[in-house]
Structure 1
Amino acid sequence: MHGPASGSVRAGGIRALRRCAGLALATALSVAGLAAPVPAAERTRLVAYTALEVEQLDPIRRAVEAAVPEVEIAWLRASTGIVTDRMLAERDAPQADLLLGIAATSLLQFEAAGLLDPYRPAGVEALRPFFRDPTPPYSWTGMDAYLGVICFNVEVAGRHRITRPNFWRDLIGPGFKGRVVMPNPASSGTGYLLVAAWLQTLGEEAGWAFMDALHENVAAYLPSGSGPCREAAAGRQAAGLSLDMRAAAEKAAGAPIDIVVPVDGTGWEAEAFAVVAGRPHLALARRVADWAASREANALYARSYAIVAYPGVATPGPVYPPHAEARMIRNDLDWMARNRARILAEWTRRYGAKVLREP
């Protein structure tokens, strides 16, 4: 591993965004699976907090329940920032048994707060070293890594004579005025990794100056990491700052987008899993953790991500940019975790007026 603007979204686009945001709010903190048949008496219900993409949830649930038949998984899904804030708010009485598909920087915060069970899953020695908790006591294990990209709509660009961006600074050009969307870092892990990367690579003074200039071109900050790419893919924006695998999925589905991994390097984050300390079913939760570290589990993660913990398992599709991993910056996850509250407070003070509000 390497480590308020004058532009606005067209009225139809804003309505579409608000509908999406409303749906996200309505579903973000709902526990999936409540409508399923009542499980057999011998099965134990484990609540798993996650920020995984919605389409990943059912396949992973089925696989977990096949590997550990005594368990029924009940998902609580939300964007990374929402899950992180909820978990920290519940620190005196945790409600989750498992954390599965949560940013490693969030798990570092939970580890520091004493919220994680110090458990080393079976088989972790086979995983790439970067994905293993380096600090005793061992408490979390990586699953996959995702990185920031630009979903660039070539049809919109052609109509407005916008040149393809190769560097992040290209997004502050006049052609992008009101035609950029990106995730809100307070709710989205993808949004936070982008902001943290700019501050690390440019330095804080220059990083904030860059974001001040970018803000002039941003139409809106959206609740999720996937949303900006969907907006660009649908032709409602020229550029959506998003995550690599959402970009690959949209392009594979026929969207007229280029996936731009800027030459000057991009931020990234690892998703990981952990067992929550002090919950009543630790033994079963640890068995799920053993499965989550397995080659079988990593093969499942690799259906959605190009970079996973188990070596040799990932098979990126033909539309995935081959140079993506090489352009990942030297990222300090500990720094990201320690400075999250400070950075988000400053970001919100500067740019919060353009955060898309749910109706």
Structure 2
Amino acid sequence: MKQLIALAAGLALSGLTAPLAQAATTLTVYTALEADQVKEYKEAFEKANPDIEIRFVRESTGIITAKLLSEKNNPQADAVWGLAATSLMILDQQGMLQPYAPKGVDKLSPEFVDKAKPPKWTGMDVWAATICFNTVEAAKKNLPKPESWADLAKPAYKGQIVMPHPASSGTGYLDVSAWLQMMGEKKGWDYMDKLHANMAQYVHSGSKPCKMAAAGEYPIGISFEYRGAQLKEKGAPIDLIYPKEGLGWDLEATAIIKGSKKLAAAQKLADFSVSLPAMRLYEKNYAVLAMPGVTKPNPFIPADYAQRLSKNNFAWAAKQREAILREWSRRYESKAEPKS
């Protein structure tokens, strides 16, 4: 026994003992990505960066945005991976983002990258408004198929529509922002007054209205394109309608939170988020990506989808967000889904 102890001591002194395994860096990442995306994105990043482990905090866009703002003076997140660009613009206005040009950012379309040098955020993909229309339930109720946003305000659809709450959901906010930009503020609010009369409920998720329509709970759900395409591909009796006036939309994007004590790891996340392997992950869910030439045709999303996106002043949408949500809540909160 004494000989073994002496041998171990000698090995230690000579530096021949096996080094202790270095603990992985834990990176706290806030996201509004859909829950079914988070696992795959995490696995891909950690495979490429085995010395870093992601701890995701996931919620809907509005909730994550509010959480980040409430933590401004004591940041808990190191980075954001998958949040609306309009939300990141609000954080930038508050001085909360760390400038960084990820490796490979030059391969992205310039309009999908923050104009600051170096940029405060980098885009990933586009998601846009879509109406999920349950043809079976609509036939039972003799409801015509809508073709436009204007159609949804018709009395025939009273109590038949669900949409996301804009304070909770980025999808809900891009709808409201787009209507105000497309129609002008007065006509936009007049339109939403009429739409409110037909609304069954405002729910706290961008994907939930399409899921509810697919399940037959309501015939019409205002949601976004890729969730609708996924549900239709699985056999849901829904048609996807892309209103002819134009589609409200936003960018999902990545940013580093200023003050992160794990800056090097957060920069690796930003690097990965703009890489081709990451874009191939995004491509499974989105029809327009920040990196050109990666997307493939989707049978349920029109080939001219990008041309159907409405003109979107992101800076205006970010600056006016608080005032718009305050007015929206004053008018329409009575039909909001109870928060769980």
TM-score normalised to structure 1 length: 0.87
- Residue equivalent to 1:144: 125
Q: Aligned-pair distance for 1:42?
A: 2.1
Q: Distance in 1 between matches of 2:162 and 2:330?
A: 18
Q: Which amino acid in the other structure matches residue 275 of structure 1? A: I
Alpha-carbon offset, residue 78 of structure 1: 0.2
The answer to whether the Cα contact below 8 Å between 1:145 and 1:270 also exists between their aligned partners in 2 is yes
Query: 1:41: how far off?
Result: 4.4
Equivalent pairs counted in the alignment come to 320
- How far, CA to CA, are the matches of 2:268 and 2:303 in structure 1? 35
Question: By how many angstroms is 1:142 displaced?
Answer: 0.1
Aligned-partner Cα distance in 2 for 1:81–1:297: 24
Once residues 323 and 248 of structure 1 are traced to their aligned partners in structure 2, the CA distance between those partners, rounded to angstroms, is: 15
CA distance in 1, matches of 2:231, 2:306: 19
Q: Deviations over 1:92-147 (max 9, x none)?
A: 01100110000000111111111111101011111111211113441100000000
Picking from 282, 290, 309, the partner of 1:309 is 290
1:270 paired residue number: 251
Letter in 2 for 1:142: G
Gaps of 5+ in 1: 1-39
Q: For residue 96 of structure 1, what is the aligned residue in structure 2?
A: 77
Alignment of 1:118-197 (within 5 A): 118-197=99-178
CA distance, structure 2, for counterparts of residue 226 and residue 89 of structure 1 = 25
How much is the aligned-residue C-alpha RMSD, in angstroms? 1.1
Within 5 Å, give how 1:60-75 maps onto structure 2: 60-75=41-56
Indicate which of 299, 322, 327 corresponds to 2:280.
299
Task: State the 1:310 CA deviation.
Answer: 1.2
In structure 2, runs of 5+ residues without a counterpart are 1-20
Match of 1:201 among 163, 170, 182: 182
Instruction: Please give the alpha-carbon distance, in whole angstroms, between the structure 2 residues aligned to 1:159 and 1:323.
Output: 32
What's the counterpart of residue 3 of structure 1?
A: none
Deviates more, 1:155-164 or 1:71-80: 155-164
Matched, 1:228 2:176: no
CA drift of 1:324 comes to 2.5
Could you give the per-residue CA deviations for residues 59-114 of structure 1, whole angstroms, max 9, x where no partner exists?
Answer: 11011111111100010000000000000010001100110000000111111111
Report the TM-score when normalising by structure 2.
0.92
Which aligned segments of 4 or more residues in structure 1 are displaced greater than 6 angstroms?
none
Contact 2:31 2:80 in 1 (8 A): yes
1:12 aligns to what?
none
Match of 1:255 among 236, 244, 251: 236
Mapped partners of 2:103, 2:333: distance in 1: 44
Distance (Å, rounded) in 2 between the aligned partners of 1:114 and 1:248:
37
| Distance in 2 between residues matched to 1:293 and 1:323, nearest whole Å | 24
77-86 vs 289-298, greater mean Cα deviation: 289-298
Query: Which AA in structure 2 matches 1:232?
Result: A
Cα displacement (A) at 1:316: 3.7
**Looking at CA atoms only, which structure, 1 or 2, has the larger radius of gyration?**
2
Q: 1:114 is paired with a residue of what secondary structure?
A: coil
Question: What's the counterpart of residue 33 of structure 1?
Answer: none
Aligned to 2:269: 288
Q: Does the Cα contact within 8 Å between 2:123 and 2:290 map onto a contact in 1?
A: yes
Partner of 1:246: 227
Q: Deviations over 1:18-42 (max 9, x none)?
A: xxxxxxxxxxxxxxxxxxxxxx642
Aligned twin of 1:85: 66
Structure 2 residue matching 1:216: 3-state secondary structure: helix
Q: In structure 2, what residue type is equivalent to 1:127?
A: L
Letter in 1 for 2:302: P
Distance of 2:304 and 2:271 partners within structure 1: 32
Corresponding position of 1:338: 319
